[in-house]
Structure formats: C-alpha cells, structure tokens
Amino acid sequence: MSHTHDMLIELLREVNRGLAEQIKKILTEHQLPLTTIMITGQVKRKPGVTVSELARRTGFAKSHISKAVKELAKKGWIQKKTDPADQRRVRLFLSEDAEDQLAQVRERIRQQIAEVVSHLSEDKAAAMIEGLKEIRAALEITEQGKDDR
C-alpha cells in the first residue's frame, strides 16, 4: 500500500474519532447512552423487532438488551406488543415521544457536523464529496465480494 493510502487511512480514523467525540458530547448533553441510540435505531429501522433479533443485530448480550428495553419501556420510549401470530413473542416499537426526542438529537448532531464542515471552502467540500462517494462505492464492492463467498 502506498504512503498516500496509509495517510488516507489514518486521516479517516482521526476524522471518525473526532466526529464520534462530537456525537458523544451531544448524547451526554441529552443524557442518552450510546446503547439507547443503537437499540432505538434498530427498532426504528425494523419496527416489531424482538429482543433476540436486537441482540443479534447489535452484538450485545440478550440479557443486556432485555434490561435496556425494560428501562426504555419505563421511560415510555419503547412499546411492547404481543405478536398476534405467536402470543409468546413480544414485538418492540418506538413511541411517538421517542421519535420526537430522537429527531431533536439527530438535528443537534446534524447542526454540530454542519458547523465543522462549514470551515471548508465550497471547492474542498465538493472534492471531499467526490472522494467519499468513491469510498462508499469501494465499500459496496468489498461487501459484494464477501457476499459472493
């Protein structure tokens, strides 16, 4: 790998860490643990998901997910509904309150990142857009290669 590629890898890591820190500060301001964001994000993407499915999707232990879901249900963020096809199964859904609060957090994160990128000139921003599109395409190619195995 070339020196340029090595430098790109290191810069991507630094930018990723920096953005993660900005997001972490915002989540702390809103008193939201990262696990809450991960769980609610999964429930938003797949309404009706089960605790077992959440555990598989997040990589967290089922017991950890169950405890977090219980807390989120107490807060009124997650609604538990029995699956009509299988009364033993409980499906999870986001409440409107959770949707509203998460939308506010997402907007605050978007504003923070907008502030960061506002320091770039239009030309630099356009060049970065093209570069990031190429990285996204390379990710897709890499994922397709893994799927073909």
The reported pLDDT for the residue numbered 147 is: 73
∠ CA 98-99-103, rounded to 5°? 115
Residue with tokens 């009124």: 76
Q: pTM of this prediction?
A: 0.76
Both tokens of 131, joined, read 């570069």
Q: What is the pLDDT of residues 13-53, one digit of tens each?
A: 999 999 999 999 999 998 888 888 889 999 999 999 999 99
Could you tell me if 94 and 47 are in contact, meaning their C-beta atoms sit under 8 angstroms apart? Answer: yes
The reported pLDDT for the residue numbered 5 is: 93
Could you tell me if 49 and 38 are in contact, meaning their C-beta atoms sit under 8 angstroms apart? Answer: no
**For residues 146 and 74, which has the higher predicted lDDT (pLDDT)?**
74
The yes-or-no verdict on residue 149 having pLDDT over 70 is no
* C-alpha to C-alpha distance for 60 and 107, rounded to whole angstroms: 27
Q: What is the pLDDT of residues 52-109, one digit of tens each?
A: 999 999 999 999 999 999 999 999 999 999 988 888 899 999 999 999 999 999 999 9
The residues with which 90 forms a beta bridge, in sequence order, are 82
- Categorize the per-residue pLDDT at 125 as very low, low, confident or very high, splitting at 50, 70 and 90: very high
The residues with which 86 forms a beta bridge, in sequence order, are 83
Class of domain 12-118: mainly alpha
